[in-house]
Structure 1
Protein backbone atom coordinates (compact mmCIF):
# COMPACT_ATOMS: atom_id res chain seq x y z
CA UNK A 1 0.00 0.00 0.00
CA UNK A 2 1.41 3.42 -0.95
CA UNK A 3 0.28 5.00 2.32
CA UNK A 4 2.48 2.58 4.24
CA UNK A 5 5.67 3.84 2.60
CA UNK A 6 7.81 6.33 4.54
CA UNK A 7 6.88 9.95 3.82
CA UNK A 8 10.28 10.71 2.25
CA UNK A 9 9.52 8.32 -0.62
CA UNK A 10 6.78 10.72 -1.71
CA UNK A 11 9.08 13.73 -1.86
CA UNK A 12 8.42 15.67 -5.05
CA UNK A 13 11.41 16.47 -7.29
CA UNK A 14 11.39 20.04 -6.00
CA UNK A 15 12.10 18.77 -2.49
CA UNK A 16 15.14 16.88 -3.75
CA UNK A 17 16.26 19.90 -5.77
CA UNK A 18 16.08 21.99 -2.58
CA UNK A 19 18.00 19.37 -0.58
CA UNK A 20 20.68 19.23 -3.29
CA UNK A 21 20.88 23.02 -3.37
CA UNK A 22 21.32 23.23 0.40
CA UNK A 23 23.92 20.45 0.51
CA UNK A 24 25.92 21.90 -2.39
CA UNK A 25 25.73 25.41 -0.91
CA UNK A 26 27.04 24.10 2.43
CA UNK A 27 29.99 22.41 0.68
CA UNK A 28 30.67 25.56 -1.33
CA UNK A 29 30.64 27.66 1.86
CA UNK A 30 33.11 25.25 3.48
CA UNK A 31 35.47 25.47 0.49
CA UNK A 32 35.31 29.28 0.37
CA UNK A 33 35.47 29.96 4.13
CA UNK A 34 39.31 29.85 4.33
CA UNK A 35 39.40 32.56 1.65
CA UNK A 36 36.92 34.79 3.52
CA UNK A 37 34.42 34.58 0.64
CA UNK A 38 30.72 33.82 0.57
CA UNK A 39 28.79 32.18 -2.25
CA UNK A 40 27.53 35.43 -3.74
CA UNK A 41 30.96 37.02 -3.49
CA UNK A 42 32.35 34.01 -5.38
CA UNK A 43 29.76 34.42 -8.11
CA UNK A 44 30.61 38.12 -8.53
CA UNK A 45 34.32 37.25 -8.87
CA UNK A 46 33.41 34.46 -11.29
CA UNK A 47 31.52 36.93 -13.50
CA UNK A 48 34.27 39.53 -13.32
CA UNK A 49 37.21 37.15 -13.74
CA UNK A 50 36.86 37.27 -17.53
CA UNK A 51 38.12 40.84 -17.41
CA UNK A 52 35.09 42.62 -18.85
CA UNK A 53 33.27 45.02 -16.53
CA UNK A 54 29.77 44.03 -15.49
CA UNK A 55 26.97 46.36 -14.49
CA UNK A 56 25.76 46.03 -10.94
CA UNK A 57 22.17 46.09 -12.20
CA UNK A 58 22.99 43.13 -14.48
CA UNK A 59 24.28 41.11 -11.54
CA UNK A 60 21.18 41.94 -9.50
CA UNK A 61 19.03 40.42 -12.25
CA UNK A 62 21.30 37.41 -12.79
CA UNK A 63 21.46 36.54 -9.11
CA UNK A 64 17.81 37.40 -8.50
CA UNK A 65 18.69 39.18 -5.27
CA UNK A 66 17.54 42.46 -3.84
CA UNK A 67 19.58 45.51 -4.78
CA UNK A 68 20.44 46.10 -1.12
CA UNK A 69 21.73 42.54 -0.76
CA UNK A 70 24.03 42.84 -3.76
CA UNK A 71 25.14 46.30 -2.65
CA UNK A 72 26.32 44.81 0.66
CA UNK A 73 28.17 42.01 -1.17
CA UNK A 74 29.83 44.50 -3.52
CA UNK A 75 30.75 46.79 -0.61
CA UNK A 76 32.50 43.86 1.10
CA UNK A 77 34.43 42.98 -2.06
CA UNK A 78 35.45 46.63 -2.51
CA UNK A 79 36.60 46.80 1.15
CA UNK A 80 38.69 43.66 0.59
CA UNK A 81 40.28 45.29 -2.47
CA UNK A 82 38.98 42.58 -4.81
CA UNK A 83 36.56 44.68 -6.87
CA UNK A 84 36.39 48.28 -8.06
CA UNK A 85 33.01 49.96 -8.43
CA UNK A 86 33.02 52.82 -10.91
CA UNK A 87 30.32 54.99 -12.48
CA UNK A 88 29.17 53.77 -15.89
CA UNK A 89 30.44 56.33 -18.43
CA UNK A 90 27.18 55.96 -20.39
CA UNK A 91 24.94 56.44 -17.34
CA UNK A 92 26.51 57.99 -14.25
CA UNK A 93 23.66 56.65 -12.09
CA UNK A 94 24.74 53.07 -12.81
CA UNK A 95 27.81 51.27 -11.45
CA UNK A 96 30.26 49.10 -13.38
CA UNK A 97 32.23 46.48 -11.52
CA UNK A 98 35.80 45.50 -12.38
CA UNK A 99 37.97 42.84 -10.77
CA UNK A 100 41.16 44.28 -9.29
CA UNK A 101 44.59 42.68 -9.71
CA UNK A 102 44.26 41.38 -6.13
CA UNK A 103 40.83 39.98 -6.97
CA UNK A 104 42.17 38.24 -10.05
CA UNK A 105 45.10 36.84 -8.06
CA UNK A 106 42.69 35.45 -5.46
CA UNK A 107 40.41 34.08 -8.17
CA UNK A 108 43.32 32.23 -9.78
CA UNK A 109 44.32 30.74 -6.40
CA UNK A 110 40.82 29.57 -5.43
CA UNK A 111 39.85 25.93 -5.67
CA UNK A 112 36.87 25.41 -7.98
CA UNK A 113 33.95 24.70 -5.64
CA UNK A 114 31.61 23.90 -8.53
CA UNK A 115 33.97 21.21 -9.86
CA UNK A 116 34.28 19.71 -6.37
CA UNK A 117 30.51 19.67 -5.93
CA UNK A 118 30.04 17.95 -9.29
CA UNK A 119 32.81 15.45 -8.55
CA UNK A 120 31.41 14.52 -5.14
CA UNK A 121 27.73 14.53 -6.09
CA UNK A 122 27.98 12.73 -9.42
CA UNK A 123 30.99 10.43 -9.05
CA UNK A 124 30.14 7.15 -10.75
CA UNK A 125 26.86 8.40 -12.22
CA UNK A 126 26.29 7.48 -15.85
CA UNK A 127 26.81 10.59 -18.02
CA UNK A 128 23.55 9.81 -19.84
CA UNK A 129 21.70 10.08 -16.52
CA UNK A 130 23.37 13.41 -15.80
CA UNK A 131 22.40 14.64 -19.26
CA UNK A 132 18.80 13.58 -18.64
CA UNK A 133 18.78 15.26 -15.22
CA UNK A 134 20.18 18.49 -16.68
CA UNK A 135 17.59 18.49 -19.46
CA UNK A 136 14.70 17.79 -17.09
CA UNK A 137 15.79 20.44 -14.58
CA UNK A 138 16.51 22.99 -17.31
CA UNK A 139 13.07 22.50 -18.86
CA UNK A 140 11.34 22.52 -15.49
CA UNK A 141 13.12 25.74 -14.51
CA UNK A 142 12.21 27.42 -17.79
CA UNK A 143 8.56 26.41 -17.41
CA UNK A 144 8.40 27.73 -13.86
CA UNK A 145 10.00 31.03 -14.85
CA UNK A 146 7.65 31.37 -17.83
CA UNK A 147 4.63 30.56 -15.64
CA UNK A 148 5.68 33.18 -13.10
CA UNK A 149 6.05 35.79 -15.85
CA UNK A 150 2.70 34.93 -17.48
CA UNK A 151 0.73 34.76 -14.25
CA UNK A 152 2.51 37.42 -12.22
CA UNK A 153 3.21 34.90 -9.50
Structure 2
Protein backbone atom coordinates (compact mmCIF):
# COMPACT_ATOMS: atom_id res chain seq x y z
CA UNK A 1 0.00 0.00 0.00
CA UNK A 2 1.30 3.45 -0.94
CA UNK A 3 2.36 5.87 1.76
CA UNK A 4 -0.40 8.53 1.62
CA UNK A 5 1.79 11.12 3.37
CA UNK A 6 4.51 10.75 0.71
CA UNK A 7 1.91 10.93 -2.09
CA UNK A 8 0.50 14.21 -0.73
CA UNK A 9 3.97 15.74 -0.48
CA UNK A 10 4.87 14.72 -4.04
CA UNK A 11 1.79 16.46 -5.39
CA UNK A 12 2.15 19.62 -3.30
CA UNK A 13 2.67 23.12 -4.68
CA UNK A 14 6.22 23.02 -3.32
CA UNK A 15 6.97 19.73 -5.05
CA UNK A 16 5.62 21.07 -8.34
CA UNK A 17 7.60 24.31 -7.95
CA UNK A 18 10.76 22.22 -7.51
CA UNK A 19 9.90 19.99 -10.50
CA UNK A 20 9.23 23.09 -12.63
CA UNK A 21 12.54 24.65 -11.57
CA UNK A 22 14.51 21.48 -12.29
CA UNK A 23 12.80 20.94 -15.64
CA UNK A 24 13.37 24.52 -16.77
CA UNK A 25 17.04 24.10 -15.85
CA UNK A 26 17.23 20.95 -18.01
CA UNK A 27 15.54 22.72 -20.95
CA UNK A 28 17.90 25.67 -20.61
CA UNK A 29 20.94 23.36 -20.54
CA UNK A 30 19.64 21.52 -23.61
CA UNK A 31 19.13 24.76 -25.57
CA UNK A 32 22.57 26.11 -24.63
CA UNK A 33 24.59 22.88 -25.01
CA UNK A 34 25.26 23.36 -28.77
CA UNK A 35 26.83 26.73 -27.91
CA UNK A 36 28.96 25.23 -25.12
CA UNK A 37 27.37 27.50 -22.54
CA UNK A 38 25.80 26.79 -19.17
CA UNK A 39 22.81 28.60 -17.68
CA UNK A 40 24.86 30.87 -15.42
CA UNK A 41 27.14 31.77 -18.33
CA UNK A 42 24.02 32.66 -20.34
CA UNK A 43 22.76 34.88 -17.50
CA UNK A 44 26.09 36.73 -17.42
CA UNK A 45 25.89 37.26 -21.18
CA UNK A 46 22.25 38.32 -20.81
CA UNK A 47 23.23 40.99 -18.27
CA UNK A 48 26.10 42.26 -20.41
CA UNK A 49 24.08 42.06 -23.63
CA UNK A 50 21.02 43.87 -22.30
CA UNK A 51 22.42 46.22 -19.64
CA UNK A 52 26.06 46.59 -20.68
CA UNK A 53 29.23 46.76 -18.61
CA UNK A 54 28.61 45.44 -15.11
CA UNK A 55 30.75 45.22 -11.99
CA UNK A 56 31.51 41.58 -11.26
CA UNK A 57 30.58 42.04 -7.59
CA UNK A 58 27.11 43.28 -8.66
CA UNK A 59 26.51 40.07 -10.60
CA UNK A 60 26.79 38.06 -7.38
CA UNK A 61 23.64 39.83 -6.15
CA UNK A 62 21.89 40.00 -9.50
CA UNK A 63 22.35 36.28 -10.24
CA UNK A 64 22.15 35.17 -6.60
CA UNK A 65 25.22 32.96 -6.85
CA UNK A 66 28.24 32.51 -4.62
CA UNK A 67 31.25 34.68 -5.39
CA UNK A 68 33.41 31.59 -6.02
CA UNK A 69 30.84 30.21 -8.47
CA UNK A 70 30.73 33.48 -10.38
CA UNK A 71 34.54 33.66 -10.45
CA UNK A 72 34.66 30.29 -12.23
CA UNK A 73 31.87 31.24 -14.64
CA UNK A 74 33.57 34.53 -15.54
CA UNK A 75 36.95 32.80 -15.95
CA UNK A 76 35.37 30.36 -18.42
CA UNK A 77 33.75 33.20 -20.41
CA UNK A 78 37.06 35.10 -20.49
CA UNK A 79 38.88 31.93 -21.65
CA UNK A 80 36.30 31.51 -24.44
CA UNK A 81 36.94 35.11 -25.51
CA UNK A 82 33.32 36.15 -24.89
CA UNK A 83 33.85 38.50 -21.93
CA UNK A 84 36.53 41.03 -21.02
CA UNK A 85 37.41 41.62 -17.37
CA UNK A 86 39.05 44.96 -16.57
CA UNK A 87 39.88 46.77 -13.33
CA UNK A 88 37.26 49.24 -12.14
CA UNK A 89 38.45 52.83 -12.65
CA UNK A 90 37.29 53.84 -9.16
CA UNK A 91 38.62 50.75 -7.33
CA UNK A 92 41.37 48.77 -9.05
CA UNK A 93 40.63 45.75 -6.81
CA UNK A 94 37.18 45.39 -8.37
CA UNK A 95 36.54 44.04 -11.88
CA UNK A 96 34.16 45.29 -14.55
CA UNK A 97 32.85 42.88 -17.16
CA UNK A 98 32.09 43.77 -20.77
CA UNK A 99 31.20 41.65 -23.75
CA UNK A 100 33.88 41.21 -26.40
CA UNK A 101 33.03 41.47 -30.11
CA UNK A 102 33.00 37.64 -30.23
CA UNK A 103 30.65 37.60 -27.23
CA UNK A 104 28.35 40.15 -28.88
CA UNK A 105 28.28 38.10 -32.09
CA UNK A 106 27.41 34.94 -30.15
CA UNK A 107 24.77 36.83 -28.16
CA UNK A 108 23.03 37.91 -31.37
CA UNK A 109 22.78 34.30 -32.59
CA UNK A 110 21.86 32.64 -29.28
CA UNK A 111 18.29 31.45 -28.89
CA UNK A 112 16.50 32.84 -25.84
CA UNK A 113 15.94 29.82 -23.58
CA UNK A 114 13.79 31.81 -21.16
CA UNK A 115 11.36 32.86 -23.91
CA UNK A 116 11.17 29.25 -25.14
CA UNK A 117 10.47 27.98 -21.61
CA UNK A 118 7.78 30.58 -20.94
CA UNK A 119 6.07 30.10 -24.31
CA UNK A 120 6.06 26.32 -23.94
CA UNK A 121 5.25 26.01 -20.24
CA UNK A 122 2.46 28.56 -20.15
CA UNK A 123 0.87 28.06 -23.56
CA UNK A 124 -2.90 28.32 -23.13
CA UNK A 125 -2.70 29.42 -19.48
CA UNK A 126 -4.82 32.46 -18.72
CA UNK A 127 -3.31 35.72 -17.48
CA UNK A 128 -5.47 35.38 -14.36
CA UNK A 129 -4.04 31.93 -13.58
CA UNK A 130 -0.49 33.18 -14.17
CA UNK A 131 -1.11 36.16 -11.88
CA UNK A 132 -2.48 33.88 -9.16
CA UNK A 133 0.45 31.48 -9.50
CA UNK A 134 2.96 34.33 -9.31
CA UNK A 135 1.23 35.86 -6.29
CA UNK A 136 1.06 32.56 -4.39
CA UNK A 137 4.72 31.71 -5.05
CA UNK A 138 5.88 35.28 -4.31
CA UNK A 139 4.00 35.33 -0.99
CA UNK A 140 5.19 31.84 -0.02
CA UNK A 141 8.78 32.79 -0.85
CA UNK A 142 8.45 35.98 1.19
CA UNK A 143 7.24 34.04 4.23
CA UNK A 144 10.17 31.61 3.92
CA UNK A 145 12.66 34.49 3.56
CA UNK A 146 11.17 36.02 6.73
CA UNK A 147 11.54 32.68 8.51
CA UNK A 148 15.20 32.54 7.53
CA UNK A 149 15.72 36.11 8.73
CA UNK A 150 14.20 35.20 12.10
CA UNK A 151 16.60 32.27 12.33
CA UNK A 152 19.55 34.54 11.58
CA UNK A 153 18.51 36.92 14.39
CA UNK A 154 18.22 34.19 17.01
Considering the TM-score relative to the shorter chain, is it more than 0.5?
yes
Confirm whether residue 113 of structure 1 aligns to residue 113 of structure 2.
yes
> What secondary structure is seen at the aligned counterpart in 2 of 1:93?
coil
Confirm whether residue 67 of structure 1 aligns to residue 67 of structure 2.
yes
**CA shift digits 1:29-52 (9 cap, x unpaired):** 000000110000000001110252
Structure 1 alignment gaps of length 5 or more = none
- Determine the C-alpha separation between the residues in 2 that align with 1:101 and 1:4: 57
Greater mean deviation of Cα atoms: 58-67 or 85-94: 58-67
Equivalences for residues 4-153 of structure 1 within 5 A: 7-11=6-10, 12-152=12-152
The 8 Å contact of residues 54 and 96 in structure 1, kept in 2 or not, is answered as: yes
The 8 Å contact of residues 87 and 94 in structure 1, kept in 2 or not, is answered as: yes
- State the Cα RMSD in Å: 2.0
TM-score of the superposition, structure 1-length normalised? 0.89
- Determine the C-alpha separation between the residues in 1 that align with 2:100 and 2:68: 22
Structure 2 alignment gaps of length 5 or more = none
TM-score of the superposition, structure 2-length normalised? 0.88
The 8 Å contact of residues 9 and 15 in structure 2, kept in 1 or not, is answered as: no
